[in-house]
Structure 1
Amino acid sequence: MKNYFYSKLGLACTIFAFAIGSNTQAQMKANQTIANASINNSTAFLDASSSGTWNASTTLGKGMLFPRTDLTKLVLTNNGGYLAGNNPNRFDGIIVYNTTTGTTPGTGSGIGNQSVTPGFYYFSNPGTPNSVATGQWIAVGASPKVTIGTAETITNTIVNVSPGVDKQVYAIKGTFTASGTSTTVSIPSPTGMTSLYGITIYKTSGTGNKVVYSRDLYSYNVGTNNNAVTGSPSMSVVYPADNYDYVLEYIK
């Protein structure tokens, strides 16, 4: 055990000394000699592809093993807290291989409570200084489409609400019944909603044509009084008596 420890220590010291002595090499090329002059001019910081001139084969290239992690437990911190100086990019672009099916933590992992499955993920967090709160884990190669259902859905939209402050846009699907005589429709405000971002009112069943009726509201009350008034003061919209669908987009 002692010899093993010192052999590891010696190897570490050797690598450290080599790194100091080779600081003119901006990249590493595992398929070239360290003296190869093309290394400094390479765009890639690491090239592990096979080389017929170095290892006498074109099929012995090496693969990179990405960090494996459990995104249902991972919290993006350093030494117990977020250090802006150590993470000027707010972890934007970090790539991991997730090993577990579940949801991300509610805090410390971007917007949190995201569904994840085993596979590669990257953390998308552009534009918010010194914060990971609005970032989100996105599956590498995943479809940008978002399926909006009757439960709160995280969209692909983040809006800048003030300098340095970004907000995630959520969406939810629902239905309402119009009386045919009033410009007011009853649409409940989702839990935590602070502002309306957008709405689409349409119809997929019932009588009449299946068309989009409106993409706007004149006013909206958040809280116990959930009535939404459609149209404008001078051009009110009265929906024919029927059942309608809507997709409400909002900010919390």
Structure 2
Amino acid sequence: MKNIFSLLMLAGLGTVASAQVLTNQPVNPTITNSNVLLDGSTNFSVEAGAQPYVGKGVIIPSVDLVNFQFDLTLADGATFPTMFDGMIVYNRSTGTTLTAGNRSSTATAVSPGYYYFYNPNGYNNQTVQPGVWRPLGGDPRVNIASAETPTNTSVNGNQIYAKRGTFTTNGTSTTPTAITNQTAIASPGSLYRITIYQSGTNNVYANSVYSYAADGTFVTGSPSMSVVYPQGTYNYTVEYTKTNN
């Protein structure tokens, strides 16, 4: 955040004598050692259409987060010691962030809106990895799609991915139910969780599997006992990792 506001002060004020500036009155660069970094508030007036204090705001830099890459030239432990932890941007693109180069090691689905860079160990690790872009004040929920979807969950530092699908049963079979046509979870990834629920009701029917085959087939139930799904259509979500620490 300090990085962004420093840029705003340089661009809007021309010269900056201090890292802390009061601008709601004539520019006052003498608030050094205050908790306030930048006060950009304006005089308040209750009059309708009062001038010149109408429509004042701060414009956060706009970026394409899908292709965004950090410039680490000045990230030397002194100028940007936290490795951009807390940096805020306005993202104008839709897609999934890249992971090669000076970027987060986590691919994150993004859409237009405000994001901040979460990298709490940046100071100690002196790297932008494994920091991650998170929506600022947005809906924390992830809509799991039929295609691979990065979630907002990680386990032991491993990103959890998910996808959803549908299968039907005839209500009489006692053999384990196989959920096929899945993309195999390549080694060293592993299955994290599967949830099966009735279509239309979202009542959870099962949340475990008997086995998982290399071709991506999930088998619920157990060959040693009769397992019958009531006739109908079922939805499922499967969650998994791609790496295994």
TM-score where L is the length of structure 1: 0.64
Residue 186 of structure 1 pairs with residue 182 of structure 2 = no
Q: Show CA shifts across 1:42-82 (max 9, x none).
A: 42111122369xxxx99489643322322232112413x98
Could you tell me which residue of structure 2 aligns to residue 74 of structure 1?
A: 68
Q: C-alpha distance in 2, partners of 1:42/1:130?
A: 28
Cα distance 1:219–1:126, how it changes in 2: closer, same or farther (>3 A)?
farther
Q: C-alpha distance in 2, partners of 1:126/1:236?
A: 49
- C-alpha RMSD over aligned residues: 4.0
- Higher alpha-carbon Rg: 1
Q: Quick one: which amino acid aligns to residue 190 of structure 1?
A: T
Residue 143 of structure 1, CA deviation: 1.3
Q: Show CA shifts across 1:94-127 (max 9, x none).
A: 111223444433434322363422x322223445
Q: Quick one: which amino acid aligns to residue 215 of structure 1?
A: N
Contact 2:174 2:228 in 1 (8 A): yes
Q: 1:211 aligns with which of 203, 206, 217?
A: 203
How high is the sequence identity, in percent, across the aligned residues?
38
Could you tell me which residue of structure 2 aligns to residue 196 of structure 1?
A: 191
Contact 1:157 1:168 in 2 (8 A): yes
Could you tell me which residue of structure 2 aligns to residue 6 of structure 1?
A: none
Q: Show CA shifts across 1:125-180 (max 9, x none).
A: 44584554544333333212221121111212122x2xxxx111111101234462
Q: C-alpha distance in 1, partners of 2:26/2:174?
A: 79
Contact 2:20 2:29 in 1 (8 A): no
Residues paired across the two proteins, number: 214
For structure 1, the 5+ residue unaligned runs are 1-14, 20-25
Q: Show CA shifts across 1:182-201 (max 9, x none).
A: 13423455354511111111
Q: Quick one: which amino acid aligns to residue 180 of structure 1?
A: S
Could you tell me which residue of structure 1 aligns to residue 5 of structure 2?
A: none
Q: 1:43 aligns with which of 15, 35, 45?
A: 35
Could you tell me which residue of structure 2 aligns to residue 27 of structure 1?
A: 20
Q: C-alpha distance in 2, partners of 1:62/1:48?
A: 9
Q: 1:112 aligns with which of 91, 107, 112?
A: 107
Q: C-alpha distance in 1, partners of 2:238/2:77?
A: 35
Q: 1:171 aligns with which of 162, 166, 169?
A: 162
SS in 2 for 1:249: strand
For structure 2, the 5+ residue unaligned runs are 1-14, 45-50
SS in 1 for 2:173: coil
Could you tell me which residue of structure 1 aligns to residue 4 of structure 2?
A: none
TM-score where L is the length of structure 2: 0.66
Cα distance 1:89–1:58, how it changes in 2: closer, same or farther (>3 A)?
same
